Amino acid sequence: MSFYCQELPYHSDAASYFAAIADLPWAAWLDSGGMARFDILTAAPHHTVAPDKTDPFALLRSELGERTSSVADIPFAGGALGYWSYDLARGLMNLSAREAGSPPDMAIGIYDWALVLDHHKKTARLVSHRRYAETEVLLEQILRRLQAESIQPADNFSVQGRISCNFTADGYAAAFGRVQGYLQAGDCYQVNLAQRFSAAATGDALGAYLKLRALSPAPFSAYLSFPKVQILCASPERFISIREGLVETRPIKGTRPRDSDPVRDRRLADELSRHPKDRAENLMIVDLLRNDLGKCCKPGSVRVPELFMVESYSNVHHLVSKVVGKLSEGCDALDMLRGCFPGGSITGAPKLRAMQIIDDLEPDPRGIYCGAIGYAGFDGNMDSNIVIRTLVYSGGEICCWAGGGLVADSQCEAEYQETLDKASAMLDLLRLYGGRFDLAG
């Protein structure tokens, strides 16, 4: 069947369009945060995929079926979209099992349509490969919703009581000391250590997500409303992108807080760009990702066109690099995702040993945190983020995390403060909805 494309009025903010479909099952919004080119909105998948005992990436490949042709300026018109949790990697890397959380380790919808907003060309297009017979009727229903007068979603979200943390300052210091012992012993070169914040909550989280994206806009944000979980993601970090065989990853390593004084703020950014520790930390992860990309890229194609670039966000400056390559013949996007999963920027190096140490030191499983949200299209293209700066709302509890890469010359107090800087927008959001937080908690 021919490709379906219906033009709609362009909105610079996709929120009103998402409100029109937010009540549909498995509603998903890959959100540019006003900082990147595309927003992708979809819902009501043809069917869904959860992990079983088979390789989850091979399972998805079988669900995607025969590849379709890609369409210029349309990043996604159907395919697999959802999340892959950090703990999904346990089966891939032979890590010991930990107590499973409520949301499954993978939740993917196989969608046959999307609304794509192109903020460069200022277009909004309802698109579909029309792979399934049922899609024709669904497109008519979706179009009516998108053309109707927009309705502001009710904001009934609430956070109850104290926001707790799974590390005290002293507990973090003890874990930091153990990481330093591993580093000095030569077990590893870098370990990402994270702390988890949690609180009881009620209501629907869409209103909270709309406030989060105002507090902390980011180019790889996402909101997923799935049966067992709502995910509010304000990630600044791309994991793996593949378009017409060109592969890109953009690891973040190195952080400084923003300052309200422009002179001091610029000084912090300059310090980050030049600091030997931050550059060394970033380079370790760049080397790890060069190796990961090399598993599925043509020999000699992997290169680093951008190294140690400073990107500034609402509450932090980040040191960012870019690694690119060309996909090998016989490899596809899911091979690449599997070969790089989970992202090295949120494990450390070498990856397996760093993950074993994380298991030993962090009190709780990471679950969705540090996994990936994104899509693998029917056309073979893919984009995904690293799930950081993210709140996960499930079973009456909302959780968020913040971590940082520890190396031999890291300073405990500075690293602990960095986690609080990274968590600041999320904690501000929870306070806005009634949560109470103090460092003793």
Give 29-40 pLDDT, tens digit per residue.
Answer: 999 999 999 999
Establish if 213 belongs to a structural domain. no
User: Of 107, 126, 147, which one is at a domain's C-terminal end?
Assistant: 147
DSSP 214: H
CA distances from 199 to 285, 368, 418 (A): 32, 17, 21
Residues 63 and 195 in one domain: no
Q: What pLDDT does residue 2 have?
A: 86
| 83 shares its domain with 190 | no
The H or E element containing residue 229 is strand 229-235
Name the pairing type of β-strands 123-128 and 220-226.
unpaired
| One domain, residues 54 and 111 | yes
421, part of any domain: yes
As a whole number of angstroms, the distance between CA 157 and CA 206 comes to 8
pLDDT digits (tens, 9 = 90+) for 342-366: 999 999 999 999 999 999 999 999 9
Is the domain of 54 the same as that of 28? Answer: yes
Type of residue at 62? S
d(CA 320, CA 235): 13
Q: Is there a domain that residue 153 lies in?
A: no
Between these two residues, 203 and 102, which has the higher pLDDT value? 203
Whether residue 314 is found in the same domain as residue 382: yes
Confidence of residue 100 (pLDDT cuts 50, 70, 90): low
For residues 93 and 352, the answer to whether their CB atoms sit within 8 Å is yes
Q: CB pairs under 8 A, 24+ apart, for 59-67? A: 60/108, 60/334, 60/376, 61/332, 61/334, 63/108, 63/110, 64/110, 64/376, 64/378, 65/131, 65/378, 67/378, 67/379, 67/380
Radius of gyration of the chain (CA): 21
Average pLDDT on 264-273 reads 96
Residue 101's pLDDT is what?
Answer: 62
Query: Mean pLDDT throughout 271-297?
Result: 95
**Of 147, 169, 190, which residue is a domain's last?**
147
Place of tokens 């959802």: 82
User: Does residue 261 register a pLDDT over 80?
Assistant: yes
Q: What is the mean pLDDT of the chain?
A: 95
pTM of the entire predicted model: 0.96
Residue 438: is its pLDDT beyond 80?
Answer: no
Do 116 and 25 reside in the same domain of the chain?
yes
Q: What is the mean pLDDT of residues 389-416?
A: 96
Tens digits of residue pLDDT in 230-260: 999 999 999 999 999 999 999 999 999 999 9
Confidence check: pLDDT of 441 > 80: no
User: How many Å apart are CA 427 and CA 407, to the nearest integer?
Assistant: 26
Phi, psi for residue 127 in degrees, rounded to 5? -130, 155
Whole-angstrom Cα distance, residue 237 to residue 373?
11
Q: Give the model's pLDDT for residue 91.
A: 85
Considering the domain architecture, whether residues 83 and 170 belong to the same structural domain is answered as no
Residue ending a domain, among 147, 168, 191, is: 147
Give just the sign of the alpha carbon dihedral 299, 344, 392, 390.
Answer: negative
Q: Residue 114 belongs to what domain range?
A: 4-147
Q: How confident is the model at residue 439 (pLDDT cuts 50, 70, 90)?
A: low
**Does a structural domain hold residue 215?**
no
Token pair 């250590």 in the structure block, residue:
193
Look at the chain and report how many structural domains it folds into.
2
Distance, in Å, from the CA atom of 104 to the CA atom of 84, rounded to the nearest integer, reads 9
Please check whether residue 438 lies inside any domain of the structure. Answer: no
Helices (H), 312-391: 333-340, 351-361
Is position 225 within any domain?
no
- List pLDDT tens digits, range 62-86: 999 999 999 999 999 999 999 999 9
Tell whether 282 and 326 lie within a shared domain.
yes
Catalytic site residues? Answer: 237, 253
Confidence of residue 94 (pLDDT cuts 50, 70, 90): confident
pLDDT band at 155 (very low <50, low <70, confident <90, very high): very high
Residue 223 lies in a domain: no
Residues 50 and 176 in one domain: no
Do residues 140 and 167 both lie within one domain?
Answer: no
- Could you tell me if 294 and 346 lie in one domain? yes
Predicted confidence (pLDDT) per residue in 310-328, tens digit:
999 999 999 999 999 999 9
pLDDT of residue 151: 80
Query: What span, in angstroms and rounded, lies between the C-alpha atoms of 121 and 15?
Result: 18
Q: Which helix or strand (DSSP H or E) is residue 253 part of?
A: strand 252-257
Whether residue 90 is predicted with pLDDT greater than 80 in this model: the reply is yes
Q: Residue 384's Cα: distance from chain center in Å? A: 7
Same domain assignment for residues 136 and 24: yes
For the chain, give the percent of residues with pLDDT over 90.
92
- CATH number of the CATH domain containing 370: 3.60.120.10
- The answer to whether residue 184 sits within a structural domain is yes
